[in-house]
Structure 1
Amino acid sequence: MASQSLFGQNNKLYSQQNWKRNLRSAQEGNHVQAENSLDQERQVDRLRGTFANLRNSVLVLGDGNLSFSLALGYLFPKKNILATVLESRKQFIEKFIIAGQANLEQLKNFCPNVQVMFEIDASNINKRRLLEKCPFYTDIVMNFPHHGGKTNLKKSKELLREIFRSVSQCLMLEESTRFHVTLAKGQSGVNPAYIRKGIYFLDNEIRNTTRTAGD
């Protein structure tokens, strides 16, 4: 009888400890979810603020797995967006097995303002194909153009020069068209410490790159 009572007490104690452990895990899980949700909201607000000045006809060059264009489509449903990737559709699906297919499905189902075009090389733009979709782009966006492999400043600038030349010759049909380029650390030669301090400028190397591209 005593052993049964002791067993019952131990069982009750175990249940209490287990309940407290589960509660603590749930609280920690909720805390992590809340932090993740807050982080996502901050990222969305940052993206919305950064691209709030985009006008009505936007071309996105080299959009990896299309996640950027998907975000733009959600945030700005009234803007017409053409998203392009370097790969063919088959190569795209093979390269981005899960995310690529998922993003394509979401674009199709929820972002009618976004069209997708494959096999577009930003450094050698097929003018006819792009202008068939839209005769004039108000804004052209490209994030982190990369030559492949390890970051190399010389190769990055050579690629940028090719992209600037291709875009200026094929797509900058009006003076009001704007080209927005985001560069990763090590791609421009700009000291990232200046950027962290809020000092924004276009360094001489990038100026020279854009100048020679226009020759």
Structure 2
Amino acid sequence: MSQKTERLLPILLGQSVIPVLVIERLGDAVPVARALVEGGLKAIEITLRTPAALDAIHAVSEDVPDAIVGAGTILNGDQYVSAEGAGAKFIVSPGLTGELIDAAEDSDVPLLPGAITPSELMGALEEGYQCLKFFPATAAGGIDFVKSLASPFAEVKFCPTGGISQNNAADWLKLPNVVCIGGSWVAPKKLIDAGDFKAITELARNATKLTA
């Protein structure tokens, strides 16, 4: 078993902040992606939380060639296959199951699974997964908790997501075991609904100034 880190790590190391998007209207997907890419954020996670999500991933993969679109909130093997078919270049899950491990093993698209507790981390390591999502980051213990994991799990690198904002992003990125963070503040719902894509580009530019 392996995580295909040769495909995943360049994405995670390519930018300190990965926008996490909830696309409710398909027509918003391409303009939002273009705005983020223009601001310097090419890797984008579109979560499978809406009926438009898979079509949005497909639209971005087809119409925004500079974007690296991923699929988030993947909970099972069928969703993994569907997201890959839609054009997702990486898969993000809040947890790790045998079914997801099997789907990842059968795919060229790398998986970034979630793990929180020491037991979950040990289980992920046993399966060859060292790059992990930490979700929900703030509610699950926050910066102090993730920092405390660095010593017993020195080989694990995290992408924390959930409750991270522009105000605390820099503090998360200072942690030695954090390689990047995920955040929805870069493309908030109110700006998407308003069609204010210039504002999203500006938020993306500000996010690129953050460094891990």
Higher helix content, 1 or 2: 1
| TM-score with structure 1 setting the length | 0.32
Q: Return the structure number with greater relative CO, CA threshold 8 A, min gap 6.
A: 2
Q: Which protein has the larger Cα radius of gyration, Structure 1 or Structure 2?
A: 1
| TM-score with structure 2 setting the length | 0.32
